[in-house]
Amino acid sequence: MEKSMRNLPKTSEPCIMVIFGATGDLTARKLMPALYNLNRENLLPQEFACVGFARREKSNEVFREEMLQGLKEFSRSKPEEDDTWSAFSERLFYHQSPFDQDEGYEALKKMLSDLDAKFGTKGNRIFYLSTQPSYFPVIVEKLKSHKLIYDKNSSGPWSRVIIEKPFGHNLESAIGLQKHITQFLTEDQVYRIDHYLGKETVQNLLVFRFANSIYESLWNNRYIDNIQITVSEELGIGTRGKFFEEAGILRDIVQNHMMQLLSLVAMEPPVSLKATAIRDEKVKVLNAIRPIDLAQFEKQVVRGQYAAGRIEGQTVAGYREEKDVAPTSEVETYVAMKLHIDNWRWFGVPFYLRAGKRLAKRCTEIVVNFKPIPNILFQQASHNNDNNVLAIRIQPNEGIALRINCKVPGTAMPIQPVKMDFRYDAFTGVQPPEAYERLICDAIWGDNTLFIRWDEVLASWTLLTPVLDRWQKDPKPPLDSYTAGSWGPESAANMLMDEGTAWRSI
Same domain? For 405 and 472 the reply is yes
Q: Decide if 181 is inside a domain.
A: no
Instruction: Look at residues 189, 106, 191, 174 and name the one whose alpha carbon lies nearest to residue 137.
Output: 174
Q: Residue 438 falls within a domain, yes or no? A: no
Residue 254 lies in a domain: yes
* pTM of the model as a whole: 0.89
The band of 434, judged by pLDDT with boundaries at 50, 70 and 90, is confident
Calculate mean pLDDT across residues 379-406: 74
126 and 270 inside one domain: no
- Residue 183 in any domain: the answer is no
Of 146, 164, 182, the residue at which a domain comes to its end is: 164
63 and 207 assigned to the same domain:
no
Q: How far apart are CA 230 and CA 163, in angstroms?
A: 25
Same domain, 335 and 390: yes
Tell me the Cα Rg of the chain. Answer: 24
Q: What is the pLDDT of residue 430?
A: 64
Q: Are residues 128 and 263 in the same domain?
A: no
Q: Please tell me whether residues 407 and 492 are part of one structural domain.
A: yes
What is the total count of domains within the chain?
2
pLDDT at 382 over 60: no
Identified catalytic residue from 95, 195, 257, 340: 257
Closest among 426, 449, 430 to 438, alpha carbons compared: 449
Last residue of a domain, which of 164, 182, 211? 164
Please, are residues 318 and 311 in contact by the beta-carbon 8 Å criterion? Answer: no
Q: Considering the domain boundaries, does residue 459 fall inside one? A: yes
Distances (CA, A) of 230 to 39, 50, 402: 34, 36, 17
Specify the CATH number for the domain of residue 80. Answer: 3.40.50.720
pLDDT one-digit tens code per residue, 245-262: 888 999 999 999 999 999
Q: What percent of the chain has pLDDT over 70?
A: 91
Report if residue 176 sits inside a domain.
Answer: no
Same domain, 149 and 261: no
Mean pLDDT score, 357-375: 88
Q: Is the pLDDT of residue 132 over 90?
A: no
Identify the band that residue 4 occupies on the pLDDT scale cut at 50, 70 and 90: very low
Lowest mean pLDDT among 47-61, 238-252, 423-437: 423-437
CATH number of residue 231's parent domain: 3.30.360.10
Question: Coil, strand, or helix at residue 370?
Answer: strand
Determine the number of helices (DSSP H) and then strands (DSSP E) in the chain.
Answer: 18, 17
Confidence category of residue 378, pLDDT binned at 50, 70, 90: low
> In the chain, what percentage of residues exceed pLDDT 90?
61
**Structural domain contains residue 159:** yes
- Confidence at 399, pLDDT banded by 50, 70, 90: confident
For residues 474 and 370, state if they share a domain: yes
What average pLDDT does the structure give for the chain? 88
Domain that holds residue 28: 15-164
Tell me, yes or no, whether 221 and 73 share the same domain: no
> Mind listing the pLDDT tens digit for each residue in 450-463?
899 999 999 999 99
Predicted confidence at residue 389, as pLDDT, reads 86
Same domain, 283 and 342: yes
pLDDT of residue 12: 77
| pLDDT tens digits, one per residue of 258-310 | 999 999 999 999 998 888 899 999 999 999 999 999 888 888 999 999 999 99
pLDDT, position 411: 61
Band (pLDDT 50/70/90 cuts) for residue 224 is: very high
Residue 425 pLDDT > 80, yes or no? no
Domain annotation covers residue 1 = no
Cα gap 149→13, rounded to integer Å: 17
CA pair distance 367, 354, nearest whole angstrom:
12
Closest CA to 144 of 180, 106, 183, 184: 184
pLDDT > 50? residue 5: no
Look at residue 415 and tell me whether its pLDDT is greater than 90. no
Same domain, 144 and 212: no
Residue type, 201: T
pLDDT tens-digit map of 65-116: 999 999 999 988 888 767 789 899 999 999 999 999 999 999 999 999 999 9
Question: Does the annotation mark 146 as catalytic?
Answer: no
One-letter identity of residue 402: L
**Residue 207 and residue 97 share a domain:** no
